[in-house]
């Protein structure tokens, strides 16, 4: 569960961070259309808010409204963890008046990217009660203990946590652009009301079920959603930084699906589902439609963050209601 934080602290520009301490950029997906390099905000005379991925872009746009131009470094459809920012994105960093990041290790490339940005940075997850990837303790590919478990960065997958994101975004915008504080507050409150409505509806849907929901996915990206609504979660790998779809991971997934007679399994839209296809073939489970986590879509199923949550919840509950 999350708690309402004090406003997130905005850090000074990181353009002076030394290359010796910067993280090395690693390519994970091909570059798609780049939203961070546009100049529409500059042409309109609006301050530019740069976010690390499209979920944050949507949140910031909801709060900022007409007073800011919000861009995303990663384009729609991209996998965030190991993204390699394009040259146009790097050039666009210099135009930013504020940078909003998820933190919690999600953006492995961020510190090096921020060397090109002369703007303050806010971490949208400040104040959230984080979850460790504790399932790894029993995973055949991991020999560590609970003390060395990484933090799960996908905190936005709980609508309750999303309120904390909105609090931090509102505070950051108000601090940077105080002339619009009242409008930011109004927009943020309206958005919180939508999040609270979705949370109440989802709680009711899960409370009315006769059987436990077992969510079997490729990546452990749904832990916050699972904790919020009592879902039994199982996945192939914890985070994209690790090896994906190894033989041991696949065998463990097959054993779980067979032991619990799971009818439908899923994979996320931005990752390779070949290992999950093998699980489906071996167990007879249906491989359901892709679930969305790291990215919205330009059009189609999930153009907004609220659409993303509603879409995923509807798919997860298929066959249970």
Q: What is the percent of the chain with per-residue pLDDT over 70, rounded to a whole number?
A: 80
Digit-coded pLDDT (tens) for 62-74 = 999 999 999 999 9
- pTM for the model stands at 0.85
Higher per-residue confidence, 219 vs 137: 219
pLDDT number for residue 32:
36
Percent of the chain with pLDDT over 90: 72
Q: Is 17 a residue whose pLDDT tops 50?
A: no
| pLDDT over threshold 80, residue 43 | no
Q: What is the mean pLDDT of residues 23-36?
A: 38
Spatial contact of 229 and 251, defined as CB atoms under 8 Å apart: no
What is the Cα Rg of the chain in Å?
Answer: 20
| Poorest-pLDDT segment among 119-123, 145-149, 237-241 | 145-149
Mean pLDDT of 8-19: 50
* Predicted pLDDT of residue 246: 87
| pLDDT above 50 (res 164) | yes
Question: Which one is predicted more confidently, 140 or 22?
Answer: 140
Q: How confident is the model at residue 299 (pLDDT cuts 50, 70, 90)?
A: confident
State pLDDT tens for residues 93-144. 999 999 999 999 999 999 999 999 999 999 999 999 999 886 544 454 545 5
Considering only 30-44, 97-111, 137-151, 153-167, which range has the smallest mean pLDDT? 30-44
Residue 321 has what pLDDT?
83
Paired tokens of 236: 């192939």
Asked if the model's pLDDT at residue 214 lies above 90, the reply is yes
Question: In this structure, what token pair is assigned to residue 72?
Answer: 């995303």
In this predicted structure, which of 42-56, 213-227, 281-295 has the lowest mean pLDDT? 42-56
Average pLDDT estimate for 272-291: 96
Contact 115, 194 (CB under 8 A): no
Q: What mean pLDDT is predicted for residues 172-193?
A: 99
- Three-class secondary structure assignment of the chain: CCCCCCCCCEECCCCCCCCCCCCCCCCCCCCCCCCCCCCHHHHHCCCEEEECCHHHHHHHHHHHHHHCEEEECCCCCCCCCCCCCCHHHHHHHCCCCEEEECCCCCCCCHHHHHHHCCCCEEECCCCCCCCECHHHHHCCCCCCCHHHCCECCCHHHCHHHHHHHHHHHHHHHHHHCHHHHHHHHHHHHHHHHHHHHHHHHHHHHHHCCCCCCEEEEEECCCHHHHHHHCCEEEEEECCCCCCCCCHHHHHHHHHHHHHHCCCEECCECCCCCHHHHHHHHHHCCEECCCECCCCCCCCCCCCCHHHHHHHHHHHHHCCCC
Q: Is the dihedral of CA 166, 150, 32, 24 positive or negative?
A: positive
How many residues appear in the chain? 321
Residue-range domains of the chain with CATH: 10-126+153-197 (3.40.50.1980), 209-317 (3.40.50.1980)
225, 310, 292, 146: CA torsion to nearest 10: 0
Specify the pLDDT at position 133. Answer: 80
């Amino acid at each position: 569960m999350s708690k309402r934080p004090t406003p997130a602290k905005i850090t000074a520009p990181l353009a002076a961070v030394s290359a010796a301490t910067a993280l090395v950029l690693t390519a994970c997906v091909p570059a798609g259309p780049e939203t961070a390099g546009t100049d529409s905000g500059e042409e309109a005379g609006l301050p530019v808010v740069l976010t690390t991925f499209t979920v944050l872009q949507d949140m910031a746009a909801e709060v900022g409204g007409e007073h800011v131009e919000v861009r995303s470094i990663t384009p729609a459809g991209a996998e965030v963890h190991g993204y390699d920012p394009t040259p146009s994105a790097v050039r666009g960093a210099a135009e930013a008046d504020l940078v909003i990041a998820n933190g919690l290790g999600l953006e492995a490339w961020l510190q090096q990217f921020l060397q090109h940005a002369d703007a303050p940075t806010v971490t949208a997850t400040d104040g959230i009660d984080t979850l460790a990837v504790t399932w790894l303790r029993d995973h055949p590919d991991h020999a560590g203990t609970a003390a060395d478990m990484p933090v799960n960065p996908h905190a936005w997958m709980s609508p309750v946590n999303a309120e904390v994101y909105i609090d931090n975004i509102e505070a950051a915008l108000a601090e940077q652009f105080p002339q619009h504080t009242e409008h930011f507050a109004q927009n943020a409150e309206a958005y919180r009301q939508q999040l609270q409505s979705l949370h109440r509806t989802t709680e009711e849907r899960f409370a009315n079920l006769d059987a436990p929901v077992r969510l079997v996915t490729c990546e452990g990206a749904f832990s916050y959603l699972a904790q919020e609504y009592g879902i039994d979660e199982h996945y192939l790998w914890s985070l994209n930084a690790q090896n994906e779809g190894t033989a041991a991971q696949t065998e463990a997934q097959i054993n779980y699906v067979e032991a619990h007679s799971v009818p439908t399994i899923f994979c996320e839209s931005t990752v390779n589902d070949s290992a999950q296809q093998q699980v489906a073939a071996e167990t007879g489970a249906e491989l359901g439609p892709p679930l969305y986590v790291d990215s919205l879509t330009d059009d189609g199923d999930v153009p907004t963050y609220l659409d993303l949550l509603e879409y995923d919840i509807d798919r997860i509950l298929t066959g249970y209601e």
